[in-house]
Structure 1
Amino acid sequence: METKPAKTAGRYQLRFRGTECLNCGHPLDMSDKYCPNCSQANSTKKLTMKDFMDEFLSSLIDYDSRLWKSLVSLLTRPGRISLDYIAGKRVSYSNPFRFLLSLAFIYFLLIGFAGNLGDLDNVNLDSKLNSDPDSEFTWGLGTDQFSDAAQQVMDSLETEGKIDSKNLANSIVEAQRKKDSAMIADPKGYLSNLSGKGFTERFIEKSTLFFKLIHEDTLFSYDDAAKKYELDDKNENRVAFDMAKSVQRALQRPGSFLSDFMTKLPFATFFFLPLFTVFVWGVYIRKNYTYTDNLIFSFHNQSLLFILLIISFLIDLLLKIDSSGIFLLVFGFYLYKAMRNFYKQGRFKTILKFLILNTIFFILALMAGVAFFVGSAITY
């Protein structure tokens, strides 16, 4: 339990102390300034507006001092703040979890506000994706829109006289048109033909069908679709419909979707870091640190990364430059020093584990980012 600075002024004077805690009923002595059971201040004086404001300002100043010391320690003493915290020196520092969450919110809010994401709502991607196949954007494969890799392969084959890329593209688009027409003409029959397929393939096909039906008929709920097309009332169908509806909303308002996605990213950090810490714990399994100790170390390092990203973002915003590369290099050197100070291993071992853990970090971060983005799109 964290100790609090003793207060003796105002309602904390000796004459206002009681012999029983007003919060938990624990017996108290007149010398007890705080209840040893629940930590509430031992005071029987009625709370006045002046007392209320004094406590509010005092708590704010105490938190600010912890915040400032945490910032200074993070910036100037790599790894040391984690050593202090797990050793029990916690009163002077902000809680690592709350500190990281605050920094993550600040960073992603800055990105959301300064990125003018709301302007993207003027671009209706849904209408473009479902426009005429000869337009610039199509839902599925377009006439002229192929990935660079696919286009290079087709150009190579065409040069060798094996295919005609234009005719092949037209054939693909025509096949897609026929498939779409069959889906929309008989949704019930199309769903029945999917029964023999695996769950993943079947679910994607159903979502694609509902996406097209929602666009064509302006359906607002699965009940509307089930009534109009005489579809079975299955949970799988409902979930596929809801996913298609969410994706269409995201395409119709991409700016709002990205803004909403940015506000959720801080929470994604707290799902990702505990998983990454498992690997940190495994790499340093011989060290006398618990999983929680390693997690605190990860929280502190991630907090420093967000501090540097915020500073870099503000510099780029003011000076119209790109300083992210420099700050990432600074973070890389900082992380190396933090690992050296915290785990106390030699340079070679630290560099090797630095490379291993950073490789794992980027792979997990990429996977988590993609999964979270897709999850946000289908639940928007």
Structure 2
Amino acid sequence: MGNGALETASCLNCGTPLQGSHCHACGQPVKGLVRPLKNIAYDFLDTVFEYDSRIWRTLVPLYLFPGRITRDYLAGRRMRHVLPFRLFFVLTVLTFLVLQWNLGDTPFGLDNVNPLQRAESIEELDEQLARMQADLAETRAEMEADPQRAYGLGGIRTAERALERTAEQRRAWLEARDEALAEGREPPPAPGGTSFRVSSDDFVTVGDGDLDLPDWLPDAARTQLENWIERGVRNINRLEEEPERLIRRFFGLLPPVLFVLMPVFALLLKTFYLFHGRLYMEHLVVALHAHSFLGLAVLMGFALNGLHALASGGIWLLDVGLGWLAAAAWWWIPIHLYLMQRNVYQQGWGFTLLKFFLIGLCYTVVLAIATVIAVIVSVVTA
């Protein structure tokens, strides 16, 4: 029989007369796997290309037309777009994979400060410092020559100051260590780390001070906390040699953290639009689409930055055009989110701007707290 025709007149599971591709009584589909392979291949391709068209009908308006797919979904026009949670899930995972990959290639990451902290002589320290300062100077010159990359000069200055502070601390320690060894004394602890110890007297020693654990903690909680601290200390010492472990673990935690924060962001929207008569789930759809756009915008920004880097030094017009386009892509993020909030909730421009600022401020605080927790968990579990 044809691919679209019903294979039987009644359901093979419950015997109910069929009225479509699924039994309306028990839900069993008419088509199973036991049929010609060409029919299965036809259905698979039909599903893929139908879903492919739905993806494009979702991604293009998601990026270019603030709030359009959200208003469509809330108005009941749901079949033309990818479902909100599925869209958010896929874009979030892709975004963090790309972020992790890009940060892994960052020339001034955690691993590049360690050569200074590991220097065992002043000569080695000076050599490492000169090499890293030369790299920074080269990057600074490239940024100063390209107006489209001038936004990164502040980061270069911060990195230069961090290198100088680290080198000064290491130099002072090396001199104190050499002096102590020459006099037969025990050398002071190296800078850049803090010594922790969990004692059997119910307190945690941090450096030279004591951090008391609360007396009201149950024994089980106290034991668990001590185990976490001990494990964290061991990991900190190991992470000084393998900082990429912490980075991988941290970025592995961020997607689930963001999933947990979705209801929080929806609650903020519900609070600020309390008298608009919208259900909480409607605000959750807005939150999912807003974060989906953020993921797509970050991917777009990295793609344009990559194209700009490839075009650098080539055709001048292409180089400048891609530079401006990449900068515009990053500026589009706050503009889009503001317009989305305005278009979905249909409130005045001034009130929308005020609420946009306050919601952003509250959510930034929540994100900061969640990030600190994620870092602590990363250190303990890396």
Note whether the superposition's TM-score is higher than 0.5: yes
Q: Secondary structure at the match of 2:293?
A: helix
Q: Tell me the distance in 1 between the aligned counterparts of 2:187 and 2:66.
A: 60
Q: Secondary structure at the match of 1:20?
A: coil
Match of 1:191 among 189, 195, 199: 199
Query: How far did 1:346 drift?
Result: 1.1
Q: CA offsets, 1:212-269, max 9 Å, x none?
A: xxxxxxxxxxxxxxxxxxxxx9444433332233334433321243134334422222
Q: Tell me the distance in 1 between the aligned counterparts of 2:223 and 2:367.
A: 35
Number of the residue aligned with 2:63? 75
Match of 1:296 among 285, 288, 292: 285
Q: Specify the code of the residue in structure 2 equivalent to 1:259.
A: R
Residue range with higher mean Cα deviation, 31-40 or 268-277? 31-40
Number of the residue aligned with 2:300? 311
Number of the residue aligned with 2:2? 9
Query: How far did 1:343 drift?
Result: 0.7
Number of the residue aligned with 1:342? 344
Cα root mean square deviation, aligned = 4.3
Residue 121 and residue 326 in structure 1: after superposition, are their counterparts in 2 closer, same or farther (change >3 A)?
closer
Gaps of 5+ in 1: 1-7, 137-147, 153-165, 181-186, 204-232
Match of 1:34 among 22, 28, 42: 22
Q: Tell me the distance in 1 between the aligned counterparts of 2:50 and 2:98.
A: 26
Q: How does 1:214-253 map to 2 (within 5 A)?
A: 234-253=223-242
Query: How far did 1:284 drift?
Result: 0.3
Q: Is the 8 A contact 1:121 1:256 kept in 2?
A: no
Match of 1:201 among 211, 218, 228: 211
Q: Is the 8 A contact 2:294 2:333 kept in 1?
A: yes
Q: Tell me the distance in 2 between the aligned counterparts of 1:351 and 1:193.
A: 55
Gaps of 5+ in 2: 126-160, 166-171, 181-185, 191-196, 214-221, 310-322
Q: Is the 8 A contact 1:107 1:306 kept in 2?
A: yes
Query: How far did 1:352 drift?
Result: 1.1
Q: Tell me the distance in 1 between the aligned counterparts of 2:110 and 2:225.
A: 33
Q: Secondary structure at the match of 1:296?
A: helix
Number of the residue aligned with 1:97? 85
Residue 195 and residue 325 in structure 1: after superposition, are their counterparts in 2 closer, same or farther (change >3 A)?
same
- What is the TM-score normalised by the length of structure 1? 0.66
Query: How far did 1:103 drift?
Result: 1.2
Q: Specify the code of the residue in structure 2 equivalent to 1:34.
A: H
Q: Specify the code of the residue in structure 1 equivalent to 2:307.
A: L
Residue 57 and residue 323 in structure 1: after superposition, are their counterparts in 2 closer, same or farther (change >3 A)?
same
Number of the residue aligned with 2:263? 274
- What is the TM-score normalised by the length of structure 2? 0.65
Number of the residue aligned with 1:86? 74
Number of the residue aligned with 1:283? 272
Q: Tell me the distance in 2 between the aligned counterparts of 1:202 and 1:359.
A: 34
Q: Tell me the distance in 1 between the aligned counterparts of 2:295 and 2:112.
A: 33
Residue 307 and residue 237 in structure 1: after superposition, are their counterparts in 2 closer, same or farther (change >3 A)?
closer
Q: Tell me the distance in 1 between the aligned counterparts of 2:44 and 2:370.
A: 39
Percent of residue pairs bearing the same amino acid type: 21
Residue 266 and residue 322 in structure 1: after superposition, are their counterparts in 2 closer, same or farther (change >3 A)?
farther
Q: Is the 8 A contact 1:121 1:254 kept in 2?
A: no
Q: Secondary structure at the match of 1:359?
A: helix
Q: Specify the code of the residue in structure 2 equivalent to 1:360.
A: C
Q: CA offsets, 1:40-59, max 9 Å, x none?
A: 43247823322332232222
Q: Tell me the distance in 2 between the aligned counterparts of 1:97 and 1:252.
A: 39
Q: Tell me the distance in 1 between the aligned counterparts of 2:237 and 2:324.
A: 34
Q: Is the 8 A contact 1:79 1:337 kept in 2?
A: yes
Q: Tell me the distance in 2 between the aligned counterparts of 1:325 and 1:254.
A: 31
Residue 202 and residue 319 in structure 1: after superposition, are their counterparts in 2 closer, same or farther (change >3 A)?
same
Q: Specify the code of the residue in structure 2 equivalent to 1:240.
A: I
Q: Is the 8 A contact 2:33 2:40 kept in 1?
A: no
Q: CA offsets, 1:38-79, max 9 Å, x none?
A: 654324782332233223222212221221111122134321
Q: Is the 8 A contact 1:246 1:378 kept in 2?
A: yes
Q: Tell me the distance in 1 between the aligned counterparts of 2:94 and 2:324.
A: 20
Number of the residue aligned with 1:356? 358
Number of the residue aligned with 2:370? 368
Q: Tell me the distance in 1 between the aligned counterparts of 2:369 and 2:285.
A: 23
Q: Tell me the distance in 2 between the aligned counterparts of 1:68 and 1:314.
A: 18
Q: Tell me the distance in 2 between the aligned counterparts of 1:32 and 1:357.
A: 47
Q: Is the 8 A contact 2:22 2:29 kept in 1?
A: yes
Question: Are positions 1:111 and 2:99 aligned together?
Answer: yes
Q: Is the 8 A contact 1:18 1:43 kept in 2?
A: no
Q: Tell me the distance in 2 between the aligned counterparts of 1:355 and 1:376.
A: 31
Number of the residue aligned with 1:52? 40
Residue 101 and residue 341 in structure 1: after superposition, are their counterparts in 2 closer, same or farther (change >3 A)?
same
